[in-house]
Every structure is written in C-alpha cells, then in structure tokens.
Amino acid sequence: MNNRKKEFIEFMMGADVLRFGEFITKSGRTTPYFVNTGNYKTGSQIASLGKFYAELVRETIGDDFDCMFGPAYKGIPLAASTAAALYNEYGIDKPYFFNRKEEKDHGEGGSLVGYKPQDGDRVIIIEDVITAGTAVRETMPILYGAAKVEVKDMFISVNRCETGKTPGKTAIMEVGEDYGINVHAIITVADIYEYLKTTGNHDTMIPKMEEYMDRYCIL
C-alpha cells in the first residue's frame, strides 16, 4: 500500500466516514465496515476529499472529458469538490451537474441542475462507493435521457470488490460489461484490510473482514 492510500484511509477514519462494526449495505448484506460520505461536514474535509478525487481523475484520464455528474444526493458535493480541486490544483476547468430526486415543476423545471449535457459529451460520474451496482443502474437512464452522451469512466472512493447479480463477477465488472464504464477507485477493500493488519489497533476486525471478503468479494 502506498502512502497516498494510507493517507486516504486515515482521512476517512478521522472524518468518521470509514467505520467498523456491523452494518447493512444497500444490497442487504451485513458488513463489518461501512463508508458513509454523508459524514463529511466541514470545509477542510470536503476540500481535502476533492483533492483526492481530482488527483485520481488527472492520473487516469487527465482532461479527456467534457463534464462530470454527481448523482443525488451524496454525489452532489463529491462532484462539486472534485470540479473545484481540478481547477485549483491542475487548472482543469470542467462543468458539473447533478440530479434532483424529484423533478421540479416550477421555475426552469426539470430534474438536472448545473451544466446541461449536450449530444456527444463525454461524461464522468463521481460517486462514493459501488456495492451491488444498484445506484449505477439508476443513474444511467438519467444521463442517457438528458442527451446522447458517452460515459466511459466513473470515480469512487472505495471499490468494495463485491459480487453483483452474476455469480463470479463483481458489481464493477457488471457495470463495465453492461455500460462500458471503467470504474476507478481511490482505494479498495483489500487496501483497508492491509491497513488494519499493519496498524495493530484493529485485531478483532481482521477475522470479520476476512470472513466477509471470502464470502462476497472477488480480489
């Protein structure tokens, strides 16, 4: 594990975003760890988070995209902070947009806020995690309904490496096959597991992580 990944894990733990215990995921699985980006709540936290995402975007695709989309609700501040960090850190100035859960029936109307995607736009998605891929399947009709866009890349905080609906395939593999999207994560569940083993402060969590990974993960 490199220092950047270690720094990000400690950043998430310090913000109470990466937590350990017993939780139920959106897919209904009981997991010993949980990532809740809704716990980011300060200016310094969201600024730092944007830098982590922006660094990953720049390293993987540079400025080879037209706009970024943050799915409601947690993806909204992620997309905004990433857009700001891309400009402040690397001079990459790209528009962003997000959706409302309920379509607005007054004023300008519609369900999208911010940039209005155009036919041919290359959109990247900024999200928190992928567990079973449910959120991606909800997001794609929104984007395809807005314009004839191209979506090749998605950026997330944590790749949980979990099986999706098809045995032997992770949700990320399924997303790639179904939509042609490459999912890039700042860290993976394997990074979290390795971190716990090296710190010596979470010995009780290690066997629980191993059991969960053996049952649900493809590494």
Torsion-angle region of residue 116: left (phi > 0), alpha (psi -120 to 50) or beta? beta
| 91: number of Cβ within 10 Å | 8
Distance from C-alpha of 195 to C-alpha of 93, rounded to nearest angstrom: 34
Annotation marks residue 94 as catalytic: no
Annotation marks residue 104 as catalytic: yes
Q: Indicate which residue of 6, 26, 51, 106 is catalytic.
A: 106
Buried b or exposed e, range 31-50, using 16+ CB within 10 angstroms: bbbebbbeebeeeebbebbb
Q: Are 121 and 151 in contact (CB under 8 A)?
A: no
Q: Indicate which residue of 26, 104, 148, 165 is catalytic.
A: 104
What are the residue numbers of the active site? 104, 106
